Structure 1
Amino acid sequence: MITYEKLSTKTTVDTKKITNFIWYVSILLFSSNFFGLSEFLLYLFIFVGLFHAYINKSRFRISKELLVVFLFTISYTIISSHYANNLQASFILYFVYPFSAYFIGSLVVNFNNFKLYTNTIICLSLGLFFHGILNVYFYVKNGNHFLEVRVIRDYWEGFDLAATLQGSYFTLIISLLLLSVTKIIDNKIIKTIIIISIFFSIISSFYIGNRTLIMICIIVFFTNIILFSKEIKLGYKSVIKFLILLCSIIFFVYFIIEFDIFSIKTIVESTNLYSRINEISIIDDPRINIYTEFARQFYKYPFGGKEMILSLAYAHNMWLDIYHVAGFVPFILLIILNIMIVKNVIFIYKSSKINTQIKILAITTLMSLSLNFMVEPIMEGIPFLFSIFMLINGMNKKIKDVIKEKENESIMDR
């Protein structure tokens, strides 16, 4: 006999499953900017996030971090729009997007649905990848890779995007490489989709000549190996086996390329990435000179306005670009916010109440996006990616708060 309590519980579980599914769909649409419906998808994302929080009875509190997010986004919006004279566009891009993303992120997670955190990051990664691969498809279809054109047209909205910025769409998905080849992600279908997406992301970097993506992939992958080995406490035998396997793979790849098996070497040498590596070394990259130019001039222009004389249009560093555009106020606020964000991730990593999957994901996403922000003009080029960053950090803050709350409850019960 089915009692009222059982029926009520089943209905609640089904409602939450449906709500989670709607949330994942909205995240996929939002992160892929589906059909270029950016503002509609933003409002849909906010509505679904609030609805999800209501159904799951998520609690909200105003925190110091939320206030810093508000102060940073509003100050950058006001100052940058003052110089550019475009308050309406700046308000949407630099305030509504990142602030609402952080706010919704801090609502949707609770102690009983930490799995939502993992699935949300996977959806964000796949959504960004889908948008990015469409851009590359459009680029290759027009034959621009043969012409070594360094500008890519956005598939949805038609604006031009620098090839280096295009790689930013693949940053999150390539950071999932280790998770996809281990048991951290146990769903075989999801693992297969992620591996295929990573494969095409790396292939795309060869077409568009994006060195940054390859470097981020390598750095994050080996960092993840160290963290993962420490988390699961691998013995020295397992470490030796892994190193032997890794060396075997490296030797195998080298052998194939060196002897041009299946014309792999010929194909690689015909790509934009190979040409770019041979054309200019990383040490000679003009973006490195920006740091010395910035250091000589930053104290002269504390209020921004793009008054500095730089050899490139942008500083190619999110923090320096923010200073260049809007001055020291949002710059300092962003540094304070970054310190808070790092402290949240450190707390998550050290917590014994959080599983390895979430720990690795928290560090991976922070590292990969931060590395990307260090070499690209994100706020000027793809400000939407900063909003994705804020959504993830909003979830990180909520996880930290929930764990702290549970720890305090345990102390009170003693």
Structure 2
Amino acid sequence: MIQTKVRDNSIFSINTILILWLALWSVNFMGQGTNIVMFGGIILIIIFLFKGRSISFSFLIIFYIIFLFGALYSIFLNYYFDYDILRGYRELFIPITLFTIGFLSMDKKKSVMYNAKLIKNFFITISFFLFLYAILNLISHLNLFGEVLIYERKIYDIWSKELVEATAQGSRLTLITSMLIPWILYRQSFSKVSGICIISCALISIISTLIMGNRSLLMILGITLSITFILYLKQNNNDIKRTVQFLIILFIVAVLCIILFVYDIFGVKTFYESSSLYMRMEKSSGSWFEDPRVKAWIMAFVGLYFNPMGGSKTQLELSIPHNLWLDIAYTTGVIPFTLIVIITLFYIFLIIRLFRTDELPESFKIFVCAISIALLLNLMIEPILSGHYVLFMIFMFQLGLIQGLVNKIKSENSG
């Protein structure tokens, strides 16, 4: 009995350290988020290995592909742009560090449900502190400058004391907002405190999006809601009763929103029409295919045929395609592009494996699907490796977590 308690306390302390590490990284503490990931991550890996956490052959396969991607991407990047060789540590070591920590944090001695709850707690921690960082930046900016300029959408950064792109702040609000969807579908799986926190943070995030003039969060929320609801119906075998209940709730919410807006209750309409987003939408015109970002995607993809080794030689209307996979193709060519596509396919395959397993509650599956869809959508529309690197780090960390959980499930089924 004494040994069991000691082991539980030891594991608890490791998870506490891990959550603290996630919080400091997500809030970019003192502007040192990348260094916290790198050097704190190495310490965590040593602790996990010292505690006897093991790796698998499937882990080594993905580890090698991530390492190969980081090495080749760094080599091409340094060749084309003559970066300092030390800069390569970010692309080379941080992805494999995050992937390894995610995998090792799944404890094979504990139950599947224990590990699933860990993943949920990890993502709530990451999402909340990303949100906190973005909101503190926005509050500081409004306190100093009074508004966000529509022609120069930059936000004050509390750590660097400089103005940074508003989109970089908006992307930090995506995950906490996407959690609103699993909360709506499976409220009973969240504590009251978590539920209140998610609702409050999501509403504040939407208001902040209007202030900053960002469209991405609203688009991502809408698409994530649609896809997640389809998965929810599949879970429940297209249960008519559940479908009708959900649609009624959506209809009531929509009607309330329309009434609040039309009659300007609580100044909702006035606030929206004075926001940066409204002014930006008013000035935008043309079809979706005329959007500069979509044009950049098409040109970058076609340009890969003419410039297979990258080098940023394809002529674009933007400085970069604003898409993780196409950015990599555009700058470093077809080889790193192929590797990141393989890594992404592993990620999607593992998410599908989780969704189809019987060992996990349906609420957890929807939780993972919602944050994964939101994350992938965000990776599709922003310059990830050159401005939104935190999203790529989360992507690598989640890949390790999900593979660790899938391996745990496999080991239990085979045992």
TM-score, normalised on structure 2?
0.91
Counterpart of 2:194 (choices 161, 183, 190) is 190
Corresponding residue of 2:262: 258
Corresponding residue of 2:339: 333
Question: Is 2:373 the counterpart of 1:367?
Answer: yes
Counterpart of 1:270 (choices 266, 274, 277) is 274
Corresponding residue of 1:344: 350
CA pair 49-23 structure 1, distance change in 2 beyond 3 A: farther
**CA shift digits 1:293-333 (9 cap, x unpaired):** 22443222111121121111111111111111111110011
* Equivalent residues of 1:304, 1:328 under 8 A apart: yes
User: Deviation of residue 135 (structure 1)?
Assistant: 2.1
Unmatched tracts of structure 1, length 5 or more: 1-5, 410-414
Counterpart of 1:110 (choices 90, 107, 110) is 107
* Equivalent residues of 2:206, 2:218 under 8 A apart: yes
CA pair 197-375 structure 1, distance change in 2 beyond 3 A: same
Corresponding residue of 1:122: 124
Partners of 1:330 and 1:159 in 2: how far apart?
32
Corresponding residue of 2:164: 161
Moved more, 77-86 or 67-76: 77-86
Partners of 1:290 and 1:146 in 2: how far apart?
26
Matches within 5 A, 1:12-411: 12-42=7-37, 43-52=39-48, 54-55=50-51, 57-62=52-57, 63-111=60-108, 112=110, 113-114=114-115, 115-143=117-145, 145=147, 147-148=149-150, 149-181=152-184, 182-183=186-187, 185-232=189-236, 235-281=239-285, 283=288, 284-409=290-415
**CA shift digits 1:172-216 (9 cap, x unpaired):** 111111233433533222222222221211111001111111111
User: Deviation of residue 108 (structure 1)?
Assistant: 0.7
* Equivalent residues of 1:290, 1:311 under 8 A apart: yes
CA pair 260-41 structure 1, distance change in 2 beyond 3 A: same
Moved more, 189-198 or 376-385: 189-198
Letter in 2 for 1:177: L
Letter in 2 for 1:206: L
Letter in 2 for 1:141: N
SS of the residue aligned with 2:164?
A: strand
Partners of 2:334 and 2:146 in 1: how far apart?
40
* Equivalent residues of 2:25, 2:34 under 8 A apart: no
* Equivalent residues of 2:297, 2:323 under 8 A apart: no
CA pair 87-107 structure 1, distance change in 2 beyond 3 A: farther
CA pair 194-279 structure 1, distance change in 2 beyond 3 A: same
Corresponding residue of 1:3: none
Partners of 2:236 and 2:43 in 1: how far apart?
39
Letter in 2 for 1:117: I
TM-score, normalised on structure 1?
0.91
Letter in 1 for 2:33: S
User: Deviation of residue 232 (structure 1)?
Assistant: 4.8
* Equivalent residues of 1:30, 1:45 under 8 A apart: no
Moved more, 339-348 or 135-144: 135-144
Corresponding residue of 1:412: none
User: Deviation of residue 360 (structure 1)?
Assistant: 1.9
Number of positions where the alignment pairs a residue of Structure 1 with one of Structure 2: 403
Tell me the percent identity. 29
Moved more, 148-157 or 321-330: 148-157
* Equivalent residues of 1:305, 1:325 under 8 A apart: yes
**CA shift digits 1:323-344 (9 cap, x unpaired):** 1111111001111111111111
User: Deviation of residue 52 (structure 1)?
Assistant: 4.3
* Equivalent residues of 1:23, 1:52 under 8 A apart: no
Moved more, 10-19 or 308-317: 10-19
User: Deviation of residue 376 (structure 1)?
Assistant: 0.8
Partners of 1:269 and 1:89 in 2: how far apart?
47
Moved more, 20-29 or 107-116: 107-116
* Equivalent residues of 1:78, 1:87 under 8 A apart: no
Superposed CA RMSD in Å reads: 2.0
**CA shift digits 1:260-296 (9 cap, x unpaired):** 1222111110001111122114624211221332244
User: Deviation of residue 406 (structure 1)?
Assistant: 1.9
Unmatched tracts of structure 2, length 5 or more: none
